[in-house]
C-alpha cells in the first residue's frame, strides 16, 4: 500500500510552507494510480496477463470486437496515467527548482520516479553541454527511507554518466553528485550553496532532519551543517518509499512482460489483439532492453524535460537591456573605429564602402522617404560597374559628399560626419538604391545640407556601411515595456512563455482532429507538427532539422489557419526568411501583405509588398497625388543653383511629407485590415503599421537564429506563437561575446543561467532554447524525414544530435554524384558519399595570420593552413575532372584567413565554385561540399571547432558528397563530440592520408 507524502512526514519539497504543494503533488500521483488500476482492469478483461481465474472473458468468447473496445479503453486510461504522472513530475520540478531554491548549476530530482529523473537529467546534460556549461550538481537523495536504504536515483545517474563518458563524484553530502560536463576529472568546487535562502532553511529544519534520521534508523551526521548544503534535500521519507514501491512494481511488470510477450503473441490468434498487447501492456515509463529491440546507436537520446525554473520577468528584461547595450556598444565601437581611423579607399578595399557614386534618379517611397539610386561616376572609369563590396539589401548605410581636391588630405576619419543615414533597398552590379532617413534629413544644418547636396547631383557621393542601432532601439523599447509591466498586466500567454503558468495540455497526437490537407505530399511528421500547432493554445515549437521541409510545413500550417478564419502574422529575423515564405504562399492566392522592403525583387514578392500596394491598390489613390507633387519638388531642386530657392523648396517638401504620412497611414490601415496574412521581419513588426493591432497567431520562422528580444517585438500583444527552427544549428551571431577572452570563471558563471532570474543568460540563448528548457518536449514536434542528404552523410548528425530520428527520404538516401542530371564519370571520388582526408602527422600545420599592413583593416588574428588548402584544391580538381560542375560545389571553412587562401587557389581555375564561411553557409545546400577544418597543432587546440552547432551546419550542407579535410590527432582530443566524429569518420568514411608530395603548395 502506498501513502501520500503528507501523511508520512517525509519532505519531497525543499522549501517552507509546502503543505498545499504536497497535496497537489499527491493528488496528481493518486490520479495516475487510479488510471493505472483502470487500465489493468481493462487488460484483465481483454485477455492480457496476468489473468486471474475466470477473467478470460472476451478472449475465451472469441469476441474480438469487445476485446478491441476494452483495449482502446485501456489505452485511454494509460494515456491519462502518463499525463497525470507527467504533470506531477513537472509540478514538483518547478517547486524544487524555482528561483532562489537551487543555483543555476544545480538540479533537484526529489519526487521524481527513476525513469522521470533519468529523462530529466539526460536532457539537462545535453542542454547544458550545448550551451557551454562546465559542470552540474545533481541532488539525488540518500535513499534513507527506501527499502533496505537503497538509493534508486543515484545508480541511474551513475549509469547515465558512464554511458555518456562523463566523470562524476559523490559530494561530501552523499545525497548530491557532481558531474563534469567537459569530459575531464570530477574535481568539485571547495564550497557550493544551494539557493539564496539555503542557510535560513537549513537552520530552521535541522531539528526535523535529526528526528527523521532517528525515526528511520539513520545514524549519519546532518550533512547540511558540515558542507553548507541545505539539509532539506535528505528529508525524503514517505515519498521515497512510495516511489520505490511503484518502481519495484514497474520492474516486476517489465520482467513479466519480457517473459510473457513472445508466448502471448503466439497465443492470441487475433492480430488486432496481438498488436494491442504490444502497444498497451507495457507502461510508457518502461523500456525494452537493446537486446530485444536494437536501436541505430548506443548514444542516449532523452525526451526533453523541464530543465529551467520559471523566469522573473522584470529581472529578465533588465538583463536583456544590459546585454543589448553591450552588443550595441561592441557594434558601434567597431564601426566608429573604422570610420575614424580608416581612409575611404581602405574601407572600399575591405568591402565596407562604395566610392565615386553619383545620383541617377530619386523618388518618394513609403513613409515619404526619399529613395535615391546611386551609380558609378563615369568620369572615374570602370565601365559602369561598381567595385566589389559587401553592402547588402537591408544594411544601414551613410550617404554623403565625397571629399574633393585639397579636402582629400582631411578625408581620413571624416566619413562619419559627412553623411545622411539610410537603408539599402536594392543592390545591383551597376547601382545601389538607398531609402534616405527622413528624420535625419530633416535636421537643419549638416543633415539638411548634405541631403540637398545629394539631391543636387553636383558632388560625388560615397556609400558606407554603418552599425544598425535602429533595431536595438526597438528591442530596447520592447524590453522596457516588459520590465515596467505589473503582474496584473501579464496575459496568460506571457505567463506561459516565462514559466509562471503551464501551457494548456494538448491531446495525444492520435487523438488530434484530422485536417483536410491542402498538400497531400506531406509526410507523417509534418502532418503531426501541423495538427499539434493547430491544437496548441499558447505555444508550439516545430523543430526542423536540416533538409526536413520546415518551410514546406509552415506553408500548410498557414493555409490551415486561414481555413479557420484566423488572422496570422508571420515573422523572421531576416528579409530572406520572410520573403521565402511570401514566394511559397503566392501561388495559393492568399490575401497577404509584406511589410518592409523585400530582399529579392521577384514578382511574387514585390507584388505583395506594402511599397507596391500603396501605389496600385484601390486605397492608394488618396496618396498618389501628393506623392507626385513631392517627386516634382525633388526634381526641381536639381534644376536650380540658387541656394535660397533650394532651401525654400526643401521646406515645402517637409510640409508635404507630413501630409503624405497622414494620408499613407490611412491607406496602410486599410491594406493591413484586408490581409489575412501579414508578413514582416521581427524588427518590422514593431512599426507604426501594426501598432495596437492584434493577431490570432504569430508564426516566427528561423526562430533559433533570432535574438529573444527581437521575438518579443511582435509577441507583446500576441495570444499564441508558433516557433519554427533548429536550436542545434548556429544561434545568432553575438559580437559582444569574445571567445578569445572567455575564462573558466566566466564559463562557470554562465552555468548559472538556469536559476530563473535570467541574469546569466546571454544573447545566444534564444526564445526557442528557453521555451524548450522551460516546458520540455511537450510543446515541441520534430520533423523527421529529410530530403537533402545521402543517408551516410546524415548518419552522424542524426545519431549525435537528433536522437537517431532522422530518416532519409527514398529519393535521396542513396543518390551519388554519378546520378546528377548530366554526365559524371564513375571514380573513387564520385562513387563515395563520404570522404575524409586525415592530415595527421604534423606535416600540415596551421598558421596564424594577421592582416597585411596598409592593405586591410585589422580585425585580429585568424588561422589558415596552406597545405590543407592544397588538399582541398586537389580534391576539387578530381571532382571537376570527373565531370562535376563547379557551380554544384562549395568549400566551407570556419576561418576567414583560410577562406582567403582557398580563394587564391580556387577562384581562378573554378570560377563557378562557391566559397564561404561555415557560419555564412547556414541554410544553404550544394551537391558536393568540402569542409576545411584548418586546425593542426601539437597542443590539440581546436578553437571554436568545439562548437558542435557550427560543425552540424558544416556536415549537413551537402546532398550527395561530403569531403572533410582535417587533422584527427588535433581535432579528436578537442572534445567528446569531436572524438566521436573522428571515430565515426574513421569507421565509415573513405579514409585517405595525403602526403605533401601529393599536393601542390605554393611558394
Whether the per-residue pLDDT at 192 is higher than 60: the answer is no
The predicted structure's pLDDT at residue 62: 60
Whether residues 343 and 452 share a domain: the answer is yes
Task: Judge whether 277 and 261 are in contact, CB under 8 Å.
Answer: yes
How many Å apart are CA 171 and CA 138, to the nearest integer? 10
Q: Alpha helix locations (H) across 350-468?
A: 438-442, 446-456
768-773 mean pLDDT: 95
**Among the three residues 248, 280, 312, which one is the final residue of a domain in this structure?**
280
Task: Say whether pLDDT at 252 is over 80.
Answer: no
274 vs 870, residue with greater confidence: 870
Answer yes or no: do 913 and 942 share one domain.
yes
Judge if 531 and 564 occupy the same domain.
Answer: yes
Q: Residue 5: which pLDDT band, with cuts at 50, 70 and 90? A: very low
Pairing of β 862-864 and β 847-849: antiparallel
> Of all residues in the chain, what percent carry a pLDDT higher than 70?
74
Q: Is residue 826 part of a domain?
A: yes
For range 47-61, the mean pLDDT: 49
Q: Which one has a higher pLDDT value, 801 or 510?
A: 801
Whether 952 is in a domain gets the answer yes
Residue-wise pLDDT tens digits, 904-946? 999 999 999 999 999 888 889 999 999 999 999 999 999 989 9
pLDDT, tens digit, 9 for 90 and up, residues 293-305: 233 333 344 445 5
**Cα 839 to Cα 993: distance, rounded to the nearest angstrom:** 6
Number of domains in the chain: 4
Q: Which residues contact 625 (CB under 8 A, 6 or more apart)?
A: none
Ordered DSSP codes for 648-712: HHHHHHHHHHHHHHHHHHHHHHHHHHT-SEEEEETTGGGSGGGTT---SEEEETTGGGS-HHHHH
416 in Cβ contact with 482 (< 8 Å): no
Residue 235 lies in a domain: yes
| Segment 634-641 mean pLDDT | 78
Q: Is the pTM of this model over 0.85?
A: no
What cell was used for 604?
511574387
pLDDT tens digits along 689-734: 888 889 999 999 999 999 999 999 999 989 999 999 999 999 998 9
Three-class secondary structure of residue 720 per DSSP: coil
* 462 shares its domain with 384: yes
Which tens digit of pLDDT belongs to each residue from 783-805? Answer: 999 999 999 999 999 999 999 99
Q: Would you state the pLDDT for residue 622?
A: 67
Band (pLDDT 50/70/90 cuts) for residue 278 is very low
Which of 472, 507, 539 is the C-terminal boundary of a domain?
472
Q: Does residue 632 sit within a domain?
A: no
Task: Looking at the structure, tell me whether residues 693 and 585 fall in a common domain.
Answer: yes
Residue 491 lies in a domain: yes
Read off the pLDDT band of 368 (50, 70, 90): low
Residue 635 lies inside a defined structural domain of this protein: no
- Residue 409 pLDDT exceeds 60: no
Cβ neighbours of residue 707 closer than 8 Å, sequence gap 6 or more? 475, 573, 732, 763, 766
Task: Report DSSP letters for 351-376, one per residue.
Answer: TSEEEEEEEEEEEE-GGGPEEEEEEE
Query: Which has more confidence, 59 or 863?
Result: 863
Q: Are 384 and 454 in contact (CB under 8 A)?
A: no
Same domain for 938 and 838: yes
Class of residue 142 by CB neighbours under 10 A (exposed 0-12, middle 13-18, buried 19+): buried
CA distance 934 to 866: 9
Q: What's the chain's average pLDDT?
A: 78
Over residues 559-604, the pLDDT tens digits come to 999 999 999 999 999 888 998 999 999 999 999 999 876 444 455 6
Burial of 323-360, coded b for 16+ CB within 10 Å and e otherwise, reads bbebbbebbeeebeebbeebbbebbbbbebbbbbbbbe
Please indicate whether residue 771 or residue 425 has the higher confidence score (pLDDT): 771
630 part of a folded domain: no
Query: Where is the domain boundary, 755, 781, 807?
Result: 781
Burial of 53 (0-12, 13-18, 19+ CB in 10 A): exposed
> What are 487-505's pLDDT values in tens digits?
999 999 999 999 999 999 9
| DSSP letter assigned to residue 309 | P
Give the span between the Cα atoms of 741 and 131, in whole angstroms. Answer: 17
| 920, three cell numbers | 555564412
pLDDT exceeds 80 at position 1002: no
> Can you give the pLDDT at residue 902?
95
Report which listed range, 230-239, 281-290, 352-361, 551-560, is most confident: 551-560
- CA atoms of 608 and 679, how far apart (whole Å): 10
Q: What is the CA radius of gyration of the chain?
A: 32
Residue 6 has pLDDT above 90, yes or no: no
For the residues 441-447, what does the mean pLDDT come to? Answer: 42
Domain shared by 759 and 848, yes or no: no
Which residue from 935, 864, 849 is spatially nearest to 903, judged by alpha carbons? 864
Q: How far apart are CA 224 and CA 226, in angstroms?
A: 6
Considering the domain architecture, whether residues 713 and 842 belong to the same structural domain is answered as: no
Q: Could you tell me if residue 906 is inside a domain?
A: yes
C-alpha cell at 485: 509591466
Question: For position 633, what pLDDT does the model report?
Answer: 85
Is the bond preceding residue 50 a cis peptide, omega within 30 degrees? yes
* 87-97 tens-digit pLDDT: 888 888 888 88
Once rounded to an integer, what is the mean pLDDT over residues 187-202? 47
- Summarised one tens digit per residue, pLDDT across range 984-1001 is 999 999 999 998 887 765
Which of 278-292, 725-739, 976-990 has maximum average pLDDT?
976-990
Binning pLDDT at 50, 70 and 90, where does residue 419 land?
confident
Residue 117 corresponds to which cell in the numbers above?
529523473
Is the pLDDT confidence value at 951 over 50? yes
- Output the pLDDT for position 759: 63
Q: Residue 980 maps to which CATH number?
A: 3.40.50.300
Task: Give pLDDT, residue 589.
Answer: 92
More confident residue, 820 or 307: 820
Residues 495 and 468 in one domain: no
Are 567 and 463 in a shared domain? no
Q: Tens digit of pLDDT for each residue in 538-564?
A: 999 999 999 999 999 999 999 999 999
Where is average pLDDT lowest: 727-736, 821-830, 953-962? 727-736
- Structural domain of 199: 5-280
Q: Same domain, yes or no, for 99 and 173? A: yes
Phi, psi (deg, nearest 5) at residue 731: -80, 180
Q: Compute the average pLDDT of residues 455-472.
A: 77
Which is nearest to 758 in space by CA: 233, 314, 108? 314
Helix, strand or coil, per DSSP, at residue 583: helix
801 and 728 housed in the same domain: no
Report the pLDDT averaged over residues 171-176.
78
The CATH number that applies at residue 221 is: 3.30.1370.110
pLDDT at 643: 80
Amino acid at each position: 500500500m502506498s501513502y501520500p507524502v503528507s501523511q508520512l512526514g517525509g519532505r519531497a519539497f525543499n522549501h517552507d510552507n509546502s503543505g498545499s504543494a504536497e497535496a497537489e503533488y499527491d493528488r496528481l500521483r493518486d490520479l495516475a494510480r487510479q488510471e493505472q488500476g483502470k487500465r489493468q482492469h481493462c487488460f484483465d478483461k481483454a485477455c492480457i496477463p496476468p489473468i486471474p481465474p475466470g477473467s478470460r472473458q472476451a478472449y475465451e468468447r472469441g469476441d474480438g470486437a469487445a476485446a478491441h473496445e476494452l483495449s482502446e479503453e485501456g489505452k485511454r486510461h494509460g494515456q491519462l496515467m502518463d499525463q497525470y504522472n507527467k504533470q506531477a513530475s513537472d509540478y514538483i520540478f518547478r517547486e524544487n527548482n524555482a528561483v532562489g531554491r537551487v543555483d543555476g548549476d544545480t538540479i533537484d530530482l526529489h519526487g521524481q520516479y527513476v525513469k522521470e529523473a533519468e529523462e530529466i537529467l539526460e536532457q539537462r546534460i545535453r542542454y547544458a553541454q550545448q550551451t557551454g556549461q562546465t559542470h552540474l550538481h545533481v541532488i539525488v537523495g540518500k535513499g534513507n527511507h527506501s527499502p533496505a536504504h537503497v538509493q534508486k536515483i543515484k545508480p541511474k545517474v551513475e549509469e547515465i554518466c558512464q554511458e555518456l563518458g562523463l566523470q562524476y563524484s559523490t559530494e561530501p553530502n552523499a545525497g548530491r553528485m557532481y558531474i563534469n560536463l567537459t569530459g575531464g576529472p570530477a574535481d568539485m568546487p571547495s564550497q557550493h550553496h544551494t539557493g539564496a535562502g539555503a542557510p535560513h532553511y537549513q537552520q530552521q529544519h535541522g531539528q526535523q532532519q535529526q528526528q527523521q534520521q532517528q525515526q528511520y534508523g539513520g545514524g549519519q551526521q546532518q550533512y547540511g551543517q558540515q558542507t553548507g548544503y541545505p539539509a532539506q534535500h535528505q528529508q525524503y521519507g514517505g515519498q521515497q518509499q512510495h516511489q520505490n514501491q511503484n518502481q519495484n512494481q514497474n520492474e516486476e511488470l517489465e520482467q513479466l512482460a519480457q517473459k510473457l510477450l513472445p508466448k502471448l503473441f503466439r497465443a492470441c490468434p487475433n492480430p488486432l489483439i496481438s498488436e494491442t498487447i504490444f502497444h498497451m501492456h507495457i507502461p510508457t515509463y518502461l523500456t525494452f532492453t537493446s537486446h530485444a529491440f536494437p536501436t541505430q546507436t548506443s548514444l542516449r537520446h532523452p525526451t526533453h524535460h523541464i530543465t529551467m525554473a520559471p523566469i522573473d520577468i522584470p529581472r529578465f528584461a533588465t538583463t536583456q537591456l544590459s546585454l543589448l547595450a553591450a552588443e550595441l556598444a561592441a557594434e558601434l565601437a567597431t564601426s566608429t573605429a573604422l570610420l575614424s581611423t580608416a581612409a575611404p579607399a581602405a574601407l572600399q578595399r575591405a568591402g565596407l564602402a562604395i566610392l565615386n557614386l553619383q545620383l541617377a534618379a530619386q523618388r518618394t517611397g513609403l513613409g515619404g522617404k526619399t529613395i535615391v539610386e546611386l551609380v558609378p561616376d563615369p568620369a572615374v572609369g570602370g565601365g559602369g560597374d561598381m567595385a566589389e563590396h559587401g553592402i547588402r539589401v537591408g544594411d544601414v548605410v551613410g550617404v554623403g559628399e565625397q571629399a574633393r581636391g585639397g579636402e582629400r588630405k582631411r578625408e581620413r576619419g571624416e566619413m562619419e560626419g559627412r553623411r545622411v543615414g539610410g537603408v539599402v533597398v536594392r543592390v545591383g552590379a551597376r547601382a545601389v538604391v538607398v531609402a534616405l532617413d527622413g528624420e535625419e534629413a530633416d535636421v537643419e544644418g549638416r543633415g539638411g545640407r548634405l541631403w540637398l547636396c545629394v539631391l543636387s547631383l553636383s558632388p560625388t557621393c560615397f556609400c558606407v556601411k554603418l552599425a544598425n542601432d535602429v533595431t536595438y532601439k526597438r528591442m530596447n523599447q520592447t524590453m522596457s515595456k516588459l520590465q515596467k509591466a505589473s503582474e496584473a498586466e501579464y496575459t496568460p500567454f506571457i505567463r506561459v512563455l516565462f514559466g509562471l503558468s503551464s501551457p494548456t495540455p494538448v491531446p495525444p497526437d492520435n487523438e488530434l482532429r484530422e485536417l483536410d490537407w491542402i498538400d497531400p505530399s506531406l509526410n507523417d511528421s509534418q502532418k503531426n507538427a501541423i495538427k499539434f500547432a493547430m491544437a496548441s493554445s499558447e505555444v508550439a515549437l516545430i523543430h526542423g532539422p536540416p533538409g526536413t521541409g520546415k518551410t514546406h510545413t509552415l506553408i500548410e500550417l498557414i493555409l490551415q489557419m486561414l481555413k479557420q478564419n484566423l488572422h496570422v502574422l508571420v515573422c523572421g529575423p531576416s528579409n530572406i526568411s520572410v520573403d521565402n515564405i511570401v514566394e511559397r504562399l503566392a501561388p495559393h492566392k492568399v490575401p497577404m501583405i509584406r511589410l518592409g522592403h523585400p530582399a529579392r525583387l521577384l514578382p511574387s514578392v514585390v507584388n505583395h509588398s506594402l511599397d507596391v500596394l500603396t501605389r496600385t491598390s484601390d486605397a492608394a489613390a488618396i496618396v498618389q497625388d501628393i506623392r507626385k507633387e513631392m517627386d516634382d519638388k525633388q526634381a526641381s531642386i536639381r534644376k536650380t543653383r540658387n541656394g535660397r530657392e533650394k532651401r525654400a523648396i526643401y521646406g515645402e517638401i517637409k510640409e508635404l511629407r507630413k501630409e503624405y504620412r497622414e494620408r499613407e497611414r490611412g491607406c496602410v490601415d486599410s491594406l493591413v485590415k484586408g490581409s489575412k496574412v501579414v508578413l514582416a521581419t521581427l524588427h518590422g513588426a514593431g512599426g507604426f503599421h501594426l501598432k495596437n493591432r492584434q493577431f490570432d497567431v504569430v508564426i516566427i520562422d528561423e526562430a533559433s537564429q533570432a535574438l529573444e528580444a527581437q521575438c518579443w517585438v511582435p509577441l507583446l500583444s500576441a495570444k499564441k506563437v508558433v516557433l519554427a527552427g533548429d536550436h542545434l544549428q548556429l544561434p545568432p551571431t553575438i559580437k559582444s561575446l569574445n571567445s578569445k577572452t572567455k575564462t573558466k570563471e566566466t564559463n562557470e558563471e554562465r552555468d548559472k543561467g538556469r536559476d530563473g532570474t535570467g541574469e546569466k543568460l546571454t544573447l545566444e540563448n534564444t526564445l526557442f532554447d528557453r521555451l524548450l528548457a522551460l516546458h520540455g518536449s511537450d510543446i515541441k514536434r520534430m520533423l523527421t524525414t529529410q530530403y537533402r542528404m545521402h543517408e551516410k552523410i546524415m548518419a552522424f548528425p542524426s545519431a549525435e544530435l537528433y536522437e537517431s530520428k532522422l530518416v532519409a527520404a527514398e529519393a535521396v538516401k542513396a543518390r551519388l554524384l554519378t546520378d546528377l542530371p548530366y554526365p559524371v564519370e564513375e571514380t573513387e571520388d564520385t562513387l563515395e558519399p563520404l570522404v575524409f582526408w586525415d592530415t595527421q602527422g604534423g606535416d600540415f600545420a596551421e598558421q596564424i595570420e594577421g592582416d597585411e599592413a596598409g592593405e586591410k583593416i585589422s580585425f585580429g588574428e585568424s588561422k589558415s593552413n596552406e597545405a590543407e588548402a592544397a588538399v582541398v584544391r586537389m580534391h576539387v580538381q578530381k571532382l571537376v575532372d570527373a565531370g562535376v560542375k563547379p557551380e554544384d560545389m562549395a568549400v566551407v571553412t570556419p576561418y576567414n584567413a583560410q577562406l582567403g587562401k582557398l580563394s587564391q587557389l580556387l577562384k581562378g581555375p573554378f570560377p563557378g565554385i562557391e566559397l564561404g564561411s561555415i557560419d555564412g553557409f547556414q541554410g544553404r545546400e550544394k551537391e558536393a561540399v568540402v569542409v576545411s577544418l584548418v586546425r593542426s597543432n601539437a597542443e590539440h587546440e581546436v578553437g571554436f571547432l568545439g562548437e558542435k552547432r557550427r560543425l552540424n551546419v558544416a556536415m549537413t550542407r551537402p546532398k550527395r558528397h561530403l569531403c572533410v579535410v582535417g587533422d584527427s590527432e588535433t581535432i579528436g582530443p578537442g572534445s567528446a563530440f569531436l572524438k566521436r566524429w573522428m571515430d565515426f569518420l574513421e569507421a565509415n568514411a573513405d579514409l585517405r592520408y595525403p602526403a605533401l608530395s601529393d599536393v601542390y603548395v605554393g611558394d
